[in-house]
Amino acid sequence: MAGAPPFPQPSGLQAWLLSAEPNSRWQARFGRGYLGWRSFTNNPLAILGLGIVVLLVLVAAFADFIAPYSPVVGGDLRTERLLPPSETFWLGTDDQARDIFSRIVYGSRITLFVVILVSVIATPIGLLVGTVAGYLGGWVDTVLMRITDIFLAFPRLVLALAFVAALGPGIENAVIAIAITSWPPYARIARAETLMIRNSDFIAAVKLQGASTPRIIMGHVVPLCLSSLIVRVTLDMAGIILTAAGLGFLGLGAQPPMPEWGAMVATGRNYLIDQWWVAAMPGIAIFMVSLGFNLLGDGLRDVLDPKAAK
């Protein structure tokens, strides 16, 4: 390293992160994470998406402090019904004289609840089915993939509808129904990744060391499938939100008086022509949040899964 460096040399923490010769595995990991973060922050749209999602989480966490009114109990039915947006009611009031802004704020909790629960249920199922099918191959692969294809053959909303019809309406059943319809694409992706991994030398090495099949799948295959799966799940979250809102709109998701955004749009439908804000405002919330997840997913894909990006 002779001569004056043309650029200011990174110092301190940054130098430690960017070091070409990390001293420990942790340093290398943090370094990679830092590089990923740098390329992620280069994309303004991805930052916007992240901002929206962070905002959603914050609003859900601090709903009690943000919302000026109760989401369930309305005001005076004689004077405060269906009021247009104003200084006291920022987004107007609905047919029960409830403040729409407060309802949207509390509704963020339901949206977050659905998204988190569905991904927590569906991702492990897809991961397990995909890696097992891909790693074992043979008839296990055939059977598991045929089952996956059958679930993929139903349009998502229609299958979710049928399940909710059978289980009965309600937010928990909606989550179960959406989770049942969400795992097949994850299984496909996990399988495709596994097929690429399973013949690598390091798998052969682990096998020769005597590792059992479950250990190889759980310890060596699954971690390598995670990054592309995370991208896919994030991109899918917009779809999950839209499906949940659709179920809510049809009266099959969260039940009244829960402030679920889709159900709120359905209420507003009755007052569409003269009191448009009742239907419009919750729809804008759904749109913003699913836009946020889409932008975040696109950004994550560029960082974590450069192969898939065009």
Partner 1 sequence: MTSSIAIGSGGHDVLRFYLTKTVQFIAVLATTLFGLVAVTFFIGRIVPIDPVLAIVGDRASPQVYERVREELGLDLPLIQQFWIYLKKAVTGDFGNSVLTTNPVMTDIANVFPATLELATLGTLIGVLFGIPLGILAAVKRGTLIDQIVRLLGLVGYSVPIFWLGLMGLLLFYAKLDWVAGPGRLDVTYSYLYEPVTNVVLIDTAMQGQWDAFWDAVSHIILPASLLGYFSLAYISRMTRSFMLNELAQEYVIAARVKGLSELRVIWRHALRNAAVPLVTVIALSYANLLEGSVLTETVFAWPGLGQYITNSLQNADMNAVLGGTLVIGATFVVLNLVSDLLYRLLDPRTR
Q: What residues line the site for partner 1 (CB under 8 A)?
A: 146-147, 149-151, 153-159, 161-168, 238, 242, 245-246, 249-252, 262, 265, 268-269, 272-273, 276, 279-280, 283, 286-287, 290-291, 294-295, 310
Question: Smallest gap, in angstroms, from Cβ of residue 68 to partner 1?
Answer: 25
* Closer Cβ to partner 1, 46 or 216, answer by number: 46
Q: Least distance to partner 1 from the beta carbon of 272, Å?
A: 6
The 8-class DSSP code of residue 10 comes to: P
Cβ atoms 127, 120 nearer than 8 A = no
CA gap 266, 281 in Å, rounded: 12
Contact (CB, 8 A) for 304 and 227: yes
Least spacing, CB of residue 145 vs partner 1, in Å: 11
SS3 93: strand
Which residue is it, tokens 């692969």?
141
CB of 177 to partner 1, least distance (A): 10
H or E, element range at 214: helix 213-216
Smallest separation (angstroms) from partner 1 to the CB of 153: 5
Amino acid (1-letter code) at residue 73: V
The residue (of 222 and 242) whose beta carbon lies closer to partner 1 is: 242
Nearer of residues 71 and 282 to partner 1, judged by Cβ: 282
CA dist 53 and 41 (Å) reads 15
Farthest-apart Cα atoms in the chain, separation: 82
CB 126 within 8 A of CB 183: yes
Helix (H, G, I), strand (E, B) or coil at 99: strand
**At closest approach, how far in Å is the CB of 208 from partner 1?**
28
Pick from 221, 219, 200, 229: which is nearest to 133 by CA? Answer: 221
Choice between 101 and 249, CB closer to partner 1: 249
Q: How far is the CB of 284 from partner 1 (least distance, A)?
A: 8
Closer to partner 1 by CB, 17 or 171: give it. 171
| CB nearer partner 1, residue 33 or residue 51 | 51
CB 247 within 8 A of CB 161: yes
Identify which of residues 286 and 303 has a Cβ nearer to partner 1 in the complex: 286
- List all residues 6 or more positions away from 267 whose beta carbon is below 8 Å from its beta carbon: 94, 95, 278, 279
